[in-house]
Amino acid sequence: MKYSIMLRLWHWLNALSIFILVGTALLRKTFFDTDTLIESIAKSTQEYGANIGYEMAEVIAKAIHRPLWEWHIAFGYLLVFLLIFRIFIFVKEGVSYVDTVTIYNKLSTVIYTMFYSLTFFMVLSGLVLAQSDQLEASSFILHDIKNLHDTAAWFFIFFVPLHILSVVANSALKKDKSLSQMGIEHR
Ligand code: HEM
Ligand code: HEM
């Protein structure tokens, strides 16, 4: 079997965690965008004759965000453990994804290396953001870390669909068993 039980277990738990982290991030960037929420809260309360003002609308918007961030941070902590587990698998089994035989494998090797490096950054920056009260870091540093965290998120937003497309296309074109070997049985 090309991929060990440990690597396959890591792969699907990692996929679940990244799906939720990217999902909550995309919701935050679209339907739950703070300015959009503030505007619609101010407008709809005004229609009821209540003039609540910007600050109160912002408080309500942040209250609406809270469950989203609770999910984000919970799966963020799962990603912390999964990164430690992945490093353990690297130590036990070596860096199995490095392969330079074909252009496809060379490209996958570069992208997987970026994936692991940026996951390391998202875990570090995410932990600082999640523990910001305890760390008492200056708001300037926190603001910069949040911006970098937000910018690096785009790699994962593009990685997920491109990865799924490429592994399915690669497996179909080469008629190889990589999909089933990563744990998806297909007849
Ligand atoms: C958020 C979702 C996902 C993430 C973050 C993800 C991440 C990864 C990573 C990092 C690797 C390289 C593992 C290594 O060898 O070090 C990998 C390999 C692989 N993944 Fe995913 N994956 C996801 C979803 C999927 C899905 C849905 C499929 C199947 C349709 C899939 C199929 C594969 C296959 C077949 C490999 C081995 C391919 C190869 O050796 O290049 N992945 N995945
Ligand atoms: C691939 C993984 C991740 C992605 C794509 C992602 C994406 C994002 C995005 C887009 C934001 C919004 C930034 C903004 O408001 O400008 C954010 C905020 C945040 N993320 Fe992540 N993140 C990831 C991993 C993590 C991890 C591992 C943790 C914690 C251990 C974490 C904790 C946080 C926290 C605490 C915030 C700030 C929430 C707030 O505004 O109150 N993230 N993340």
Q: Residue 59 CB: number of other CB atoms within 10 A?
A: 13
* Residues whose beta carbon lies within 6 Å of some atom of ligand 2: 18, 21-22, 25, 28, 69, 72-73, 76-77, 79-80, 122-123, 126-127, 129-130, 146, 149-150, 153, 156
Ligand 1 geometric centre to CA of 111 (Å): 11
If you average pLDDT over every residue of the chain, what do you get?
90
The pLDDT of 80-106, averaged and rounded, is 92
The pLDDT of 120-127, averaged and rounded, is 97
Q: Provide the pLDDT confidence category of residue 178 given band limits of 50, 70 and 90.
A: low
Sketch out the chain's domains with CATH numbers.
Answer: 5-181 (1.20.950)
Contacts of 159 (CB under 8 A, 6+ apart): 111, 115
Q: What is the pLDDT of residues 26-72, one digit of tens each?
A: 999 998 998 999 999 999 999 988 888 889 999 999 999 999 999 99
